[in-house]
Copies of this chain bind each other. A is one copy, B any other.
């Protein structure tokens, strides 16, 4: 005897003892639980993952031992042994932006308690996304959700050769890395422009976030331009703007647009809180909305509904997109064939007083 009890925790590192403190007490292992419950480690493992197969009496002893030891399964070991993890990785352009929070929430809710979520932001930069994806792949995530739909070649390659499911959510791309759950930004912008035309506005300005590395903004601008073309309206490049995000971005854009002659009749601001910023600016200047200037926005939220006048806006099903994305991942992970590679969740135009 003696040697027999020489488990890991009895050993001492020869080198620095480090600031041991409370950290010295490492958690119990499955072995400890097994010993206490007087079963083999395999039975403990089963008790945790397929309790139905284990004798109820045995099960009870094991649970007793688990409680007594405060045992928490070591998923690192579990994942290594089983060659699969329960971590889903999520990359959004910005952690700050509450738009993405909706999708994140949808993913988290749908994944439930059996999966964990790893999150990173790309900073709206393709290389940022690549870095995040590489990190996730190193953690051997079992699935990936990307908001952006434009990627570096290496990002695509890495994900594809990792062979894990991936859902893109930012735009309804035709050729996704793997799957996509989203709506058509192009169509949404087209429809909103058409809506404004239908209301009788002819000189309609357009404001989006910077197009660089942002396929959503790009698609929306294209949708706007196509609508103008289709309705035989001329394009005036002076009233097609890219703006910094934030309320001030929208406010600044509106100020600039109001200087242009001939005067614009309406403006469609899409992205972030641009439209709200513009509306508040209009109020500050006593520009009557919609008489002097009509304003339409996108990414409808409670705020757009509560300002005066309430904003006409596009509603995107961000939460549902997150739920759907997670379901698609789960389906694939479960080994089922994907129900669909490309899921269009659509969008709605919410007409209010601002147009």
Instruction: Check if B74 sits within 8 Å of A140, measured CB to CB.
Output: yes
Instruction: Check if A113 sits within 8 Å of B131, measured CB to CB.
Output: yes
Instruction: Check if B95 sits within 8 Å of A108, measured CB to CB.
Output: yes
A residues 311-332 touching B (CB-CB < 8 Å)? none
Residues of B within 8 A of A118 (CB): 87, 116-119
A residues 91-126 touching B (CB-CB < 8 Å)? 94-98, 101-102, 104-105, 108, 113, 116-121
| Smallest CB separation, A351 vs chain B (Å) | 19
Of the listed stretches A220-228, A299-307, A340-348, chain B binds A299-307
- Considering the complex, give the chain B residue whose CB is closest to the CB of A21: B163
Instruction: Check if A76 sits within 8 Å of B79, measured CB to CB.
Output: yes
Instruction: Check if A75 sits within 8 Å of B139, measured CB to CB.
Output: yes
Residues of B within 8 A of A255 (CB): none
The 8 Å CB contact of A108, one of B21, B121, B136, B137, is: B121
Identify which of A79, A140, A276, A306 gathers the most chain B CB atoms within 10 Å of its CB. A306
* Identical copies in the complex: 2
A19 at the interface (CB under 8 A from B): yes
Residues of B within 8 A of A131 (CB): 113
A135 at the interface (CB under 8 A from B): yes
Instruction: Check if A96 sits within 8 Å of B87, measured CB to CB.
Output: no
Residues of B within 8 A of A308 (CB): 280, 283-284
| Interface residue range, chain A | 35 or more
Instruction: Check if B73 sits within 8 Å of A19, measured CB to CB.
Output: no
- Considering the complex, give the chain B residue whose CB is closest to the CB of A79: B76
The 8 Å CB contact of A75, one of B26, B108, B121, B138, is: B138
Of the listed stretches A51-59, A243-251, A262-270, A287-295, chain B binds A243-251
- Considering the complex, give the chain B residue whose CB is closest to the CB of A121: B108
List 10 additional A-B contacts (Cβ < 8 Å) besides A76-B139, A116-B139.
Answer: A27-B137, A74-B138, A94-B105, A95-B105, A96-B105, A108-B121, A116-B118, A117-B119, A119-B119, A247-B302
7 of the cross-chain contacts (CB-CB < 8 Å) are: A23-B164, A27-B162, A72-B162, A76-B140, A95-B108, A96-B101, A280-B308
